[in-house]
Amino acid sequence: MIASGDKINLLGLPKGKLEQFFVEMGEKPFRAVQVMKWIHQRGVTDFAAMSDLSKALREKLAQVAEIRIPEVQHEQRSRDGTIKWVLRLDSGNSVEMVYIPERERATLCVSSQVGCALACTFCSTGRQGFNRNMSAAEIVAQLWMAEHRLVDTLLPSERKISNIVFMGMGEPLLNFEAVVDAAEIMMEDNAFGLSKRRVTVSTSGVVPAMARLQERVDVSLAVSLHAPNDALRDVLVPLNQKYPLKELMAACDAYAPNAPTGSITYEYVMLHDVNDTDRHAEELIELLRGRPAKVNLIPFNPFPQSGYQRSSNERIDRFMRRLEAANITTIPRRTRGDDIDAACGQLVGEVEDRARRAERLERMALRPAS
């Protein structure tokens, strides 16, 4: 393990901040680009190997800075190629990320917070509560690892990461600065160089942060809608009580014209008999009428004591056909990694349970026999 100490982790500094770091060290700002390429393009974490820097600078860097990557705590591979990793950030905090290879692209679903405070009722991350924000370095580390350490060694023939979705654990817009910095690094030409059409921040509707996001960084936006009216959305996404649909849709209307694809993706998790009937489809069509929108229908991923059931495939098809008939582009999300629960906070819960179980067993074993 690389010691953490008080050293600054350069993995999380976007170009401007890295330049500032070098200027404060009495160096020329262009060092930032050299170091970014070493870290993010070549996957180098040891300053000693950065051969276009002077030996003196490499030594100085090693004293004040580091490139620190979390450990993989757990890995699960699905039959369909999906891989889920649990990363240990520090002793008490783990997050997950999911790699989804497809024919045309490879998507990495990243986390932005440990847990989530927003308590959507169908989401297992929400049920776990909120622990802490992730740093920009921890967010970027997910892409860095998938790109340089994991995918290469595991799947030499697979595609590298082309798409990032902030759809893992946490609400990205409640960890604003770190998410902005991380997204910048993901799109920076001297780092990962991903296209802004292929970096998507997903929000449950933190309305005031949506406009601020667009002012700071040019990324695609997905909005977790899940219900076509306030009464139902108040229940499924409690944040709706604070920012109701009228305000949310106004924020979407302001975002869409300057969004990389000119539109917003609306996520809609399909819950049997809760939000998946013809009436809900009609209401959704009304809500999205005249708006540049794509709808992503997500089959609910069940977890113990959720109280919800996944809509049947027939229901999902029917719902989709209705939206399509109203000229709304609708993408049914295939369930990927089903056999490994590759959705939203589930694996971390299991790992923690297992760790607690191990602890319990240990305590029992240590207890003197009576």
Residues with a known catalytic role: 96, 344
Instruction: Choose, by CB under 6 A, the member of 94, 204, 220, 296 that binds ligand SF4.
Output: 204
123 binds ligand SAH (CB under 6 A): yes
Place of tokens 């319990």: 360
Residue 252 and residue 73: Cα distance in Å, rounded? Answer: 38
Site for ligand SAH in 210-229 (CB under 6 A): 224
CB of 22 to ligand SF4, least distance (A): 36
Residue 35 or residue 252: which is nearer to ligand SF4 going by CB? 252
From 32-40, 100-108, 112-120, 286-294, give the range in contact with ligand SF4 by CB under 6 A: 112-120
200 binds ligand SAH (CB under 6 A): no
171 binds ligand SF4 (CB under 6 A): yes
What are the phi and psi torsion angles at 97 (to 5°)? -140, 155
Residue 9 or residue 275: which is nearer to ligand SAH going by CB? 275
Place of tokens 């005031």: 208
Site for ligand SF4 in 205-264 (CB under 6 A): 224
Q: What residue number has its CB nearest to ligand SF4?
A: 126
CB of 276 to ligand SF4, least distance (A): 17
Q: Which residues are within 8 A (CB) of 205 and not within 5 positions of it... i.e. 6 or more apart? A: 223, 224, 237, 239, 240, 243, 248, 251
Residue type, 310: R
163 binds ligand SAH (CB under 6 A): no
Instruction: Choose, by CB under 6 A, the member of 19, 66, 96, 171 that binds ligand SAH.
Output: 171
Residue 125 and residue 348: Cα distance in Å, rounded? Answer: 9
Residue 133 or residue 203: which is nearer to ligand SAH going by CB? 203
267 binds ligand SF4 (CB under 6 A): no
What are the phi and psi torsion angles at 132 (to 5°)? -165, 165
Three-state secondary-structure class, residue 8: strand
Instruction: Choose, by CB under 6 A, the member of 70, 101, 126, 299 that binds ligand SF4.
Output: 126
Residue 164 and residue 201: Cα distance in Å, rounded? Answer: 8
Three-state secondary-structure class, residue 349: helix
The CA dihedral of 147, 149, 154, 156, to the nearest 10 degrees, is 60
From 31-39, 54-62, 115-123, 249-257, give the range in contact with ligand SF4 by CB under 6 A: 115-123
Token pair in block for residue 356:
């607690």
CB of 285 to ligand SAH, least distance (A): 20
Q: What x/- string results for residues 238 through 277 when contact with ligand SAH is judged by CB under 6 A?
A: -----------------------------x-x--------
192 binds ligand SAH (CB under 6 A): no
The distance between the two most distant Cα atoms of the chain, rounded to a whole number of Å, is 73
Q: Which residues are within 8 A (CB) of 107 and not within 5 positions of it... i.e. 6 or more apart? A: 99, 100, 161, 162, 163, 164, 165
CB of 343 to ligand SAH, least distance (A): 5
Question: What is the DSSP code string of 278-339?
Answer: HHHHHHHHHHHTTS-EEEEEEE----TT----BPPHHHHHHHHHHHHHTT-EEEEPPP-SGG
343 binds, among ligand SAH, ligand SF4, none (CB under 5 to 8 A by kind): ligand SAH
- For ligand SAH, the binding residues (CB under 6 A) are 116, 122-124, 167, 171, 202-204, 224, 267, 269, 298, 300-301, 343-344
- For ligand SF4, the binding residues (CB under 6 A) are 116, 118-120, 123, 125-126, 170-171, 204, 224
